[in-house]
Amino acid sequence: MQAQPSLWQRSREAAYAEIARVAMELFLEQGFEQTTIDQIVAEAGISRRSFFRYFGTKEDVVLGDLAGQGELVREALEAVPDEVEPWDALRLAMQAVDALQIQPGVTLKIATMMYRTPSLRSRSIEKHLHWQALLVPEIRRRLAVGDDDPAPEAIVATAIACLDVAGERWVSGGGVGDLSVLYDRAVAGVRSGS
């Protein structure tokens, strides 16, 4: 039986969720760059110091889960049977943690904000590099290649780039379509060389 989170942990998680909710409402209403940390803390009823206890940057409010999601993708990838080839194993791992899923409405607004705000794009790329560092060892193991072989890094970096391109295409298409289909098309294009 798993231990229940302590009262302190539950309080911290509730505060984190409330600050994130308030900030996201302001971002979606006013725009990311137009929203200040001072506005967020005033609306949430907290101090700047409290804000920075929960978030390192304003960008982390939007992208905070992205780093944690990388850990989940790594765990899902390690659970995929070894006989599944690397590209398919990566897709299954991303699918297992809903990285290829979208929620109409709010997801489009958030994704549009992310793809159109330079500081968010930059932080997103940084977090995807974290994903790459997490996933490469498992792909290297599956390929049974040494540390000097660039193939694992190339496969993981390309799969993540395909996910990013699919997200950008989905946003530019007004949120119409299936993100997983766009991802599969991007991967197929890379793998076929056309």
Question: Which domain does 75 fall in, by range?
Answer: 63-192
Residues 173 and 28: their CA atoms lie apart, in Å, by 19
User: How high is the mean pLDDT of the chain?
Assistant: 88
One domain for residues 124 and 90: yes
Q: Which positions of the chain have pLDDT values less than 70?
A: 1-2, 67, 99-106, 194
One domain for residues 42 and 84: no
Residues in the chain: 194
The predicted model scores a pTM of 0.80
Number of domains in the chain: 2
Residues 190 and 87: their CA atoms lie apart, in Å, by 11
- What digits encode the pLDDT tens for the residues 50-87? 999 999 889 888 887 776 788 889 999 999 999 999 99
One domain for residues 44 and 11: yes
Among 56, 74, 103, identify where a domain stops: 56
Neighbours of 75 (CB within 10 A): 14
One domain for residues 95 and 168: yes
Among 37, 56, 75, identify where a domain stops: 56
One domain for residues 48 and 70: no
pLDDT of the residue at 4? 77
- What digits encode the pLDDT tens for the residues 84-107? 999 999 999 988 877 666 655 557
Among 56, 72, 101, identify where a domain stops: 56
One domain for residues 37 and 67: no
- Output the domain CATH number for residue 41: 1.10.10.60
One domain for residues 133 and 165: yes
Q: What is the 3-state secondary structure (H, E, C) of 138-191?
A: HHHHHHCCCCCCCHHHHHHHHHHHHHHHHHHHHHHCCCCCCHHHHHHHHHHHHH
Burial of 45 (0-12, 13-18, 19+ CB in 10 A): exposed
One domain for residues 18 and 74: no
